[in-house]
Structure 1
Amino acid sequence: MSLTSIADRLSLSHLGPRGQGLAMAALGAIAFSGKAIVAKLMYKMGADAFAVVGLRMALAFPMFLWLAWWSVRAAEGATPGPERLTTRQWWQIAGLGFTGYYLASTLDFLGLQYISASLERAILYLNPTMVLILSALWLGQRIRPGQLAGVGLAYGGVALVWFHDWDAAHMVSAQSSHGLQAHSAILLGSLLVLGSALSYAIYLMGSGEIVQRLGSLRLVGYASCFACVLCVLQWVVVHAVTDGRLGGVAHLPWQAWALSALNAVACTVLPVWLLMRAVQLLGASVASQVGMVGPLSTIWMAAWWLNEPVGPRLILGTAAVLAGIVVLTRASRPPVPAPAPASGSPPAR
């Protein structure tokens, strides 16, 4: 089954290619953002981060396995066929799966126990700024003034959202502070999610070469399968070591299991496909800009489903983060070369 036929079955074909791409980019971003809402609802039902991550990846594993198989099957019909992986490439995939999906997911869900869904989404949106900073530190890449302005605006926005959480700490982290004082919980949660964003930024930096050789679908399928195995193993080990105090699921109501299935399908696997299809139809730049609806949808869903407080600093801070990423993205574009002079005209000075 081709990606185009799947789009037709989703009844988006009447929108045309550009309309399909816009709809898929928006739906994918909203679905990804819903992960935080689902996790916090499960926390209220007695689940912990290890159980949420373990259930999510265990249920998503068959679908990622199918994605990996389908990507190879599709490549077999192309010319040239799928590249045979070397031992070095397998290790690269394992490393990318560890940083981009296992470690990033675990730190993210641990942090969500202590901070609001809106702050979590704002911090995760710092990924492009972290890639830029890491590129400057490791690769010696020069940071342009426009890029620096975008970074400053984005981090200033996160600071506003963070202070919003800080002032509402008693409401944000009371549900699962695990005995921590409210403000200490905000600090811990912010650091954990910041670590998640950094881990995913490392994945983005390391995936550039291999994604060109394997294709995005094949890489995501393989790396996600590896991460699923790690998450499930972590879940089992933590449950055994803590004698069931962490990672337990037997006491969870059926609603938590239903939410976990929703998390695996609608908030994990489906948005991966939606965003990749959107990139095919729109290009990465347009798709990423449409995806900025994600943080805004998080604010609305968190207020509606979780009763998280909404205030001026949250709205202004989120807007500043999005504006900062737009400024950074535009400043990072390569300069457009000047048109060549017409025949017989003097060269430009």
Structure 2
Amino acid sequence: MSDKKSYAYFIGGIVICLLGSIFFSTKAIFVKLAYREAPVDAITLLALRMLFSLPFFIVSAFVSSQKSDNVKFTGKQWLGIALVGCLGYYVSSLLDFMGLKYISAGIERLVLFIYPTFVLLMSALVFRSTISVRQWLALLITYSGLLIAFWGEAHVEDASGDFYKGALLIFMCAITYAMYIVGSGRLIPSVGAAKFNSYAMSFAAAAVLLHFFVTSSNSLWDQDGSTYLYSLLMAILGTVIPSYLVTWGIKRVGSNNAAIVGSIGPVSTILQAYFFLQEPIHALQIAGTVLILAGVLMISMKKK
């Protein structure tokens, strides 16, 4: 591949990651709207999200497995896909949904997006990946913005026990999601982006539904109409579409760069929370947003 084509391929991956992150950021908005309008708990809402998402992933898995260039998974790959999928979209998602009970969508996204730090550290410590000077500088700028924005939010939030409980749950969510990003970055090149995503999400959906039927006394068929609406929107706009975008983006730019580019997520969530949830935007949030965008721009302006 020529330098020009390689650069265009990389920039295309950056754009795909950005779109995936923006679509993913709608998830927190739909969760908060569902909590606001109906007495639904985290595992029920997550189960509905996966129930509506699962048909898309099953069909995609079947189609990808019928292609002429399809390669059968080894036993180790099956185990890796199941483990990574459940970490990213069962364990991490459940922690996220639980945390959103206690904190705002804006705070949730700010805490969650410490995960690129974990991604870089895991890649360096476990897989001996090299962290470039550009990545370190982009992280420094990005996290300076996140810290400034978080500082502003924390001063206007009611710092009760529930607030810190919610923040801790989201912190744990960030760790498990980082594991997903690192693991998927290693598996996707050998199994294919679409096929990996379809099977990983299917495993996660199965785990969520099993958890629900074993632990919950609620019924999935007797929920408020708004719960079904937001679950469906969350499944399509906040799960199916962005999961494929992020997977394809990781294939093009790698897990480290995808994690850093994904820091646009807090900006998207804060803006959406302002318009749809009436969560206020403060001056420190704006200052932090500018730095976050600067960090993302550094990644997209990668030298040939």
Q: Distance in 1 between matches of 2:74 and 2:132?
A: 38
Which residue in the other structure is 1:220 paired with?
197
Q: Distance in 2 between matches of 1:276 and 1:132?
A: 17
Structure 2 unaligned spans of 5+? 1-8
Structure 1 unaligned spans of 5+? 1-16, 171-181, 337-349
TM-score (normalised: structure 1): 0.72
Q: Distance in 1 between matches of 2:150 and 2:178?
A: 21
> Among the aligned pairs, what percent are the same residue?
33
SS at match of 1:207: helix
Deviates more, 1:120-129 or 1:211-220: 120-129
Counterpart among 116, 121, 136 of residue 104 in structure 2: 116
Q: Distance in 2 between matches of 1:60 and 1:100?
A: 15
Q: Distance in 2 between matches of 1:138 and 1:275?
A: 22
Counterpart among 244, 254, 269 of residue 225 in structure 2: 254
For residues 134-170 of structure 1, the C-alpha deviation after alignment (integer angstroms, 9 at most, x for no partner) is: 2233345555555444333333333223333322224
SS at match of 1:308: coil
For residues 303-348 of structure 1, the C-alpha deviation after alignment (integer angstroms, 9 at most, x for no partner) is: 1211112101122223333434555x479x7x87xxxxxxxxxxxx
Which residue in the other structure is 2:62 paired with?
69
Verify the 8 A CA contact 2:105 2:270 in the aligned structure 1.
yes
SS at match of 1:258: helix
Change in 2 beyond 3 A, CA 1:251/1:307 = farther
Change in 2 beyond 3 A, CA 1:146/1:169 = same
Counterpart among 239, 247, 250 of residue 216 in structure 2: 239
Which residue in the other structure is 2:74 paired with?
86
1:296 matches 2:267: yes
1:137 matches 2:137: no
1:57 matches 2:75: no
Counterpart among 300, 303, 306 of residue 277 in structure 2: 306
Q: Greater CA radius of gyration, 1 or 2? A: 1
For residues 199-235 of structure 1, the C-alpha deviation after alignment (integer angstroms, 9 at most, x for no partner) is: 1211222223321121010011011000001111112
For residues 103-162 of structure 1, the C-alpha deviation after alignment (integer angstroms, 9 at most, x for no partner) is: 121111112222221222233333332211222333455555554443333333332233
User: Per-residue deviation at 1:263?
Assistant: 1.0
1:95 matches 2:87: no
Which residue in the other structure is 1:42 paired with?
34
> How many aligned residue pairs are there?
293
Q: CA RMSD in A?
A: 3.4
Which residue in the other structure is 1:210 paired with?
187
Which residue in the other structure is 1:192 paired with?
169
TM-score (normalised: structure 2): 0.81
Deviates more, 1:265-274 or 1:290-299: 290-299
Letter of the structure 2 residue corresponding to residue 88 of structure 1: K
Q: Distance in 2 between matches of 1:234 and 1:326?
A: 40
Change in 2 beyond 3 A, CA 1:199/1:23 = closer
